[in-house]
Structure 1
C-alpha cells in the first residue's frame, strides 16, 4: 500500500513538474518567433516602375495612318448611304480602333 501511494505521489510530482516547465504544451518554432519580430518592422516604400519612353517616329507614323484612315471614312459612309458597302470599311474601322488604343496606351505611360 505504501509502495502504491509512493508511486502515485511520484507520478503526480512528475506531471506537475512537466506542466510547470512547459506551460503551453508545445514549443513555438523559431521561424514563427522571427516572423512575429519582422511583422512589426517598418515596410519599405514600393519601387516605382520605370516609365518606358515611346518611340516618337512610330507614334508619328501611327498618328499619320490614323488621320489618313479617318479622313477616308466619310466618303465610305456616303457609299453606304447609297447602298454600296465597301468591302474594306470594316477592316478600316478595326484598324482605326486598334491604332487609337495603341496611341492612347503609349501616351498614358
Structure 2
C-alpha cells in the first residue's frame, strides 16, 4: 500500500511539473514580432498650370487686401487712444488673421 501511495505521489508530482513546463513554454515568445509594413504613399498628380495661375492671382488679391487692412489698423489704434472703438476694428483684425493664414497655407508646401 505504501508503494502505491508513494507511486501516486511521484506520478502526481511528475504530472504537475510537466503541466507547468508546457504552460511556461506556451508563454515564451519566439523572436521579435514583425513590424507593420510602411504605408504606401501615392504621388500626387501635378497640378495643371491654369490652376497655379489662378492661385497666384488669388494670392496677389489677398495680399493687397491684407496690406490695405493692415495699413488701416494704426488709425484705429489712434482712435482707441482717444477712447473711441471703431466698430469694424475687430472685424478687420479677424480678416487680417484669416488672410494671413490662407496665404501662409498657400505658400508652404
TM bucket, shorter chain: 0.5 to 0.7
Secondary structure at the aligned position of 2:75 is classed as helix
Q: TM-score, normalised by structure 2?
A: 0.56
C-alpha displacement of 1:67: 1.1
1:48-104 Cα distance to aligned partner (Å, 9 max, x none): 7978x8843443332222112112223333444455432111211222123223322
- Please, which runs of 5 or more residues in structure 1 have no aligned partner? none
Aligned to 1:11: 9
Paired residue secondary structure (2:21): coil
Deviations for 1:6-47, whole angstroms, at most 9, x for unmatched residues?
232133134225524752544526xx747x4425x6x76677
Please list every run of 5 or more consecutive structure 2 residues that lacks an aligned counterpart in the other structure. none
* Structure-1-length-normalised TM-score: 0.56
Change (3 A) 1:6 1:58: same
Q: Distance in 2 between matches of 1:76 and 1:21?
A: 84
Aligned length: 101
